[in-house]
Chain A
Amino acid sequence: MMKRDECFRVLTRHVTDEVLVSTYSSAVDWLNLGERTLNYFSVGAMGLDSSHALGLALGRPNKRIICLQGDGSLLMNLGCLVTIAAAAPKNLVHIVVQNGTYEANGGHPIPNTEADFAAMARAAGYAHVHDFSQLANFEQQAAHVLKQDGPVFATLHVEPSKPLTYDYPNLYDPARRKALKAALQQS
């Protein structure tokens, strides 16, 4: 079993000019690793991070879009797997962090902690699907996963993390959205 922040540190070695979409606990852990203009924190409607990512991927087909989504969030929008697979954006990498809990809402378990999201993504029709439980394996494959023609799906099996501090005013800050939009218009 991996730790989410360790997995994200691996991603920071490969993420450059991609737009990274995230919400709640994943967004907090990702932001703790550093500020960047091309972060899109879609806090406010849990589950729709993957849909925001699809919109960005369609709107900017020449830019890579990475979605870091929690398992509880995906469960609130499971149909997005079929929608994304049908839209088939080549530039979208959809990573689901599976810790088996609604972490931001008290750490209660999701209805089935053994749910196989990679199998669901494969059945929905994603172009490439991965499933990682070992950090060494993820480290070895991360660059490849991020560069594949999408839609790409990867599950990261992680253990519940230490309690996080949710600074929603910071995540919600309209200045972030304004800066992201300006950056996308220039790119």
Chain B
Amino acid sequence: MDADLLTEPDDKIELKGSGIIAAIKASGIEYILSVPDIVTSGGLLRPIARDPELKLIRVCKEDECIGIASGLSYCDKRALTLIQYTGFLDSINAIRGIAVEYGQPICMMIGLLGHDPYTTPRNSPRYGVRIIEPILEAMGIPHHLVNEEPDVAKIRPAIEDAYAKSHPVALLIGRRPSAS
């Protein structure tokens, strides 16, 4: 079994990838734009790559996703950008210009690598994770933490709202989703 198909060894709480993928589909998402992230690799990206109902576009660098999603939105096609928080940080200018200033429905699902799922992102042991929510708030981007099973219910309304009101949204994946 690939290492990325395993949940964290000491994690007693399961966050099912299948539930997240079902919520993504229920939101009308047709395209997944992604650079691999070990947090979401086994539970989300691998099954998405095999799923004939979703079109996966593998990109070289995360900010490409923002441009592609914008182009798709002009054609009334919904896309989800699936990246790691480091890729989010690397894409800040594209998100600033295209998602925020242009008011585009750019939906991002962001894996919080190195985060301790038993605490909040603001109290994460990883500096890069601690700064994510404050940055999103400074940019005026709504965000939601998907850390446990009940949080999966946040996904569809968040994406629906982003497309209805044409604004970006960030869904933060706090623990490694399982492949079940």
- Residues of B near A54 (CB, < 8 A) are 57, 64, 67-68, 71
**Smallest beta-carbon distance A56→chain B, Å:** 4
Report A76 CB to chain B, min CB distance, Å: 9
Give the tally of cross-chain contacts (CB within 8 A).
101
CA distance A38 to B61 in the complex (A): 27
Q: Which residues 157-187 of A have a CB within 8 angstroms of B?
A: 177, 180-181, 184-185
Task: Say yes or no for A48: interface residue by CB 8 A criterion.
Answer: yes
Q: Is A79 interfacial (CB-CB < 8 Å)?
A: yes
> Do B64 and A44 have beta carbons less than 8 Å apart?
no
Say which residue of A40, A49, A79, A83 sits within 8 Å of B74 (CB atoms): A40
Partner of A79, one of B60, B70, B71: B60
> B74 to chain A: which residues have CB within 8 Å?
40, 55-56, 59, 177, 180-181, 184
Q: Which residue of B lies closest to A65 (CB)?
A: B71
Cα distance A40–B31 in the bound complex, in angstroms: 21
Interface size class of A (residues with CB under 8 A): 20 to 34
The smallest beta-carbon distance between B8 and chain A, in angstroms, is: 31
B161: min CB distance to chain A, Å: 19
**Using a CB-CB cutoff of 8 Å, which residues 44-67 of chain A contact chain B?**
44-45, 47-60
Q: What residues of chain B have their CB less than 8 Å away from a CB belonging to chain A? A: 31, 55, 57-61, 63-77, 79, 93-94, 96-98, 101-102
Beyond A52-B70, A55-B69, A83-B57, 20 additional contacts (C-beta under 8 Å) are A40-B74, A45-B66, A45-B67, A45-B96, A51-B59, A51-B67, A51-B71, A52-B67, A52-B68, A54-B67, A54-B71, A55-B73, A58-B31, A58-B77, A77-B63, A79-B61, A80-B64, A83-B64, A87-B57, A184-B74
